[in-house]
Chain A
């Protein structure tokens, strides 16, 4: 089955700098890659997603890149702000059946230093 690895587990960056979180997946059939942000005491919130027919997607300060050949994808946050501090999860979903199998990475705790 699918396995998603996420690095780093913790990340601390200066406010205004960029943050990058990287994930790899094992199942070449995966074709959907969402990213979630989780704040303390809340459920994960979808912040951006990318499908396998696209190499990059941007939404304001957030961008995601996908390399299907290498089976890895990354989240880039530019001009970081204090409100970006949270736990971020990558995920991968194989399109092998009608069953819903989204597999999550283990998460990255991002801290923004003032």
Chain B
């Protein structure tokens, strides 16, 4: 299994509070991604990173920000959580971007986030 650790694995918080999820990898892969998974929607890309301090938006980026200060860590922040952000969040990594050789993505085991 790819060395990907997501923390926390479960979190319950209240509307309006800030939340930060962490993804840590030991593979030294260049690319990292954050997805959310909701019933009937599969996985949808929130943000991704193609290097330290280099990030870009995915298809559902509103309400989320990310940071990558070092290769191994990719943080996802909900500045002011809303109930619509209740979801399961997955981090993924890949050696190269899919537009440059289509290398597969490998996923962590997710963070279940509930916003009350």
Write the residues of chain A forming the contact surface with B, with a CB cutoff of 8 angstroms: 1, 4, 6, 31-32, 34, 36, 41-46, 49, 51, 89, 93-102, 104-107
Chain B positions near chain A (C-beta within 8 angstroms):
4, 31, 33, 40-45, 48, 50, 56, 58-59, 90, 92, 94, 97-100, 102, 104-110
In the assembly, what is the distance between CA of A44 and CA of B89, in Å? Answer: 12
18 sample A-B contacts, Cβ–Cβ < 8 Å, listed by A number: A1-B59, A4-B42, A43-B90, A43-B109, A44-B90, A51-B102, A93-B99, A95-B98, A95-B99, A95-B102, A96-B99, A98-B50, A98-B100, A100-B48, A100-B99, A100-B105, A106-B40, A106-B41
Q: With A and B bound together, what is the CA distance between A97 and B113 in angstroms?
A: 32
> Which listed residue, A44, A45, A98, touches B99 by the CB 8 Å rule?
A98
Complex: how many Å from CA A43 to CA B107? 6
Q: Say how far B56's CB is from chain A's closest CB, in angstroms.
A: 6
* Distance (whole angstroms) from the CB of A61 to the closest CB of chain B: 20
Report chain A residues within 8 Å CB of B42.
4, 6, 89, 104-107
Q: Could you say which residues of chain A place their CB within 8 Å of the CB of B107?
A: 36, 43-45
Min CB gap A7→B, angstroms: 13
Known: A100-B99, A102-B105. A43 touches B110 (CB 8 A): yes
**Which residues on the B side are within 8 Å of A46 (C-beta)?**
104-106
Give complex CA distance A106, B31 in Å: 24
- The docked-state distance in angstroms from the alpha carbon of A89 to that of B33 is 17
Chain A residues contacting B102 (CB-CB under 8 Å) are: 31-32, 51, 93, 95
Name which residue of chain B comes closest to A31, CB basis: B102
The reply to whether B90 and A97 contact each other, CB–CB distance below 8 Å, is no
B45 surroundings in chain A (CB, below 8 A):
101-102
CB closest residue in chain B, given A41: B109
A102 & B90 in contact (Cβ 8 Å cutoff):
no
From the candidates A42, A100, A104, name the one contacting B43 in the complex (CB within 8 A).
A104
- Which residues of B have CB within 8 Å of A6? 42
Chain A residue contacts of B40, Cβ below 8 A: 106
What's the nearest-Cβ distance from chain A to residue B13, in Å? 21
